[in-house]
Structure 1
Amino acid sequence: MGKTTTRTTRTTSEVAAAEEYDHRESDDEEDEDEEDLDGESDDEDVITVNFDFCDAQEEDFHGLKALLTGYCDGAEYACSDLCDLLIRQNAVGTVMKTEDDSENVLGMTSVVSLAYYKGEKCVKDIKKYLLGKVPAKEKKAFEKILNDDATGLLINERIINVPQDAGQPLIEGVFDEIGWAAKDEKTAELRKSYEFKNYILVSTLSARRDNQKNSESSRDWRRRSCSNTLNRR
């Protein structure tokens, strides 16, 4: 396709009017610059941060552990084992850092096959935790999904002051990686382990507990919930 060039021709009067406008606009910009220098501008400072998205490495162990220690909402689980697993499973999963700081992990996303890694203590602990959060009438149905060969635990965590938009590439990338792993992993067993049909996402939500007799009735209570497969308040 050829390149299209648009040329604009203006009359003398139009040029004069444009020059006068440009002069006024320049004066306005100078006034704004002076206000900024005097500290009189109400505009907030904008900080630009460049994020790096990369595979988890051994050096990320402590950063991952700091991020995932509270994954089960304060309940004890084999967090160190989970961090080791996420680093070992390098075909799927991404960590987010800043360009200027390669040590601190600001966010991460990965998917763990609950069937393939069912022997790992961290997986056993997490499954036990999740089952303990499910209402009795739905426990049987949820347990069936939990033990399905095609169920993946979608882990998506970031520190609280990282904007949601900044973490979007993590989610977008992990599903691309799952597609590649299902085709390109070394063994048939590994490839099959990434053929997910169900995903379980553990997320934090706020719920209001109403109790007129309690002075704390207006307080927001935070708890963990299973969503996608199950979402309960």
Structure 2
Amino acid sequence: MSGPLKKQRAVFPVEEYVEEEEDMEQDEMIGQNINVDFEGFPASDSDFHGIKRLLQQSFRGLEVNFSGIADTIIGQNYVGSVIKQVGDDDEEEDEEDEDDNDQVFGVTTIINLTSRKDEECISGLRSALVEQCSKHASDSSSVLFRDILSNESKHVGLLISERLVNLPPQFALPVFDSLRKELAEAKKKDMPYEFAYLLMICKVYKLEKKKKKKNIETELWGNPEEEVFAEESLGTFEYNVKGEASMSGEWDEEDPQYTPFRRVIVLDASRWQEIMAKVKQAIYQ
């Protein structure tokens, strides 16, 4: 699953987590156009730090064991993919360039929150989600969320689809197609990947402006395809993560400052193919 892709300036703020040399190098690339090819690979031990970093981005605002969840993803690498840049075999690369090509640009997988509920890292993730739900969900969404997590006869999958900023929604489609096929193969082997519900944690950015004495709210989606998912959700809640991350990037002083949120949505797993068809239509229309 590869194809040319131009990296362009983000249209929403970058969330910064750790001041590292790698982060500074990425900031310097903002505003530049580069042609790169990507390909999906099974997760391996060497991807641990890249996966963990993406989980910290996705699960911002939740007190969870990122290392344990990264290990879980690597341990079930027969479903899901990590996305890496594909190098040019005709060019000689030094050791530093090879390390850059090993960077994880995205991760997509599904974790069974029901069958793995007794594992420490998954138990902690479930508890963290329930805690945020209790604080921020409406009564109906709170009841739905608690019911689906407590019903062990209907398994709940956490759909993780995270990537570095600036990669467009087209980037996700072949990965989702691959995941669907891998899940089908796993179910043929009686592995626990038959889900009644899917949960997603989406990145949403909000900006409030006053217009004619009214507050007008604008939303931007970190992964634009997830806006379509949200339209099909059975229930949802969100929490503000502004205090959990700072904003960075080369922004003009007049650029609007968006507030980062995480929005948890619940999907009917039986409608997954139908929802994906709508996603593809929205992206390519």
TM-score class, shorter-chain normalisation, is 0.5 to 0.7
Check conservation: 1:201, 1:228, Cα contact below 8 A. Answer: yes
Check conservation: 1:133, 1:225, Cα contact below 8 A. Answer: no
CA distance in 1, matches of 2:138, 2:32: 51
Check conservation: 2:58, 2:203, Cα contact below 8 A. Answer: no
How do 1:80-159 and structure 2 match up within 5 A?
A: 80-100=67-87, 101-134=100-133, 135=137, 137-138=139-140, 139-148=142-151, 149-159=154-164
Identity of aligned residues (%): 29
Check conservation: 2:115, 2:155, Cα contact below 8 A. Answer: no
Show the counterpart of 1:164: 169
From 20, 32, 40, the equivalent of 1:53 is 40
Unmatched segments (≥5 aa) in structure 1: 1-43
- Deviations for 1:51-91, whole angstroms, at most 9, x for unmatched residues? 12110001100111111123322332100000000000022
Check conservation: 2:62, 2:129, Cα contact below 8 A. Answer: no
How far did 1:92 drift?
A: 0.8
Which has the higher mean CA deviation after the structures are superposed, 68-77 or 106-115?
Answer: 68-77
Unmatched segments (≥5 aa) in structure 2: 1-30, 88-99, 216-255, 269-285
- Deviations for 1:95-123, whole angstroms, at most 9, x for unmatched residues? 00001244210001000111111112221
Check conservation: 1:114, 1:147, Cα contact below 8 A. Answer: no
3-state SS of paired residue (2:35): coil
From 192, 207, 220, the equivalent of 2:258 is 220
| Distance change in 2, residues 1:158/1:45 (3 Å) | closer
CA RMSD of aligned residues (A): 2.7
Letter in 2 for 1:142: F
TM-score, normalized by length of structure 2? Answer: 0.56
Which structure is higher in strand share?
A: 2
User: Which of 1 and 2 has greater Rg?
Assistant: 1
Letter in 1 for 2:81: T
| Distance change in 2, residues 1:173/1:147 (3 Å) | farther
Check conservation: 1:209, 1:219, Cα contact below 8 A. Answer: no
TM-score, normalized by length of structure 1? Answer: 0.68
3-state SS of paired residue (2:158): strand
3-state SS of paired residue (2:104): coil
Show the counterpart of 2:182: 177
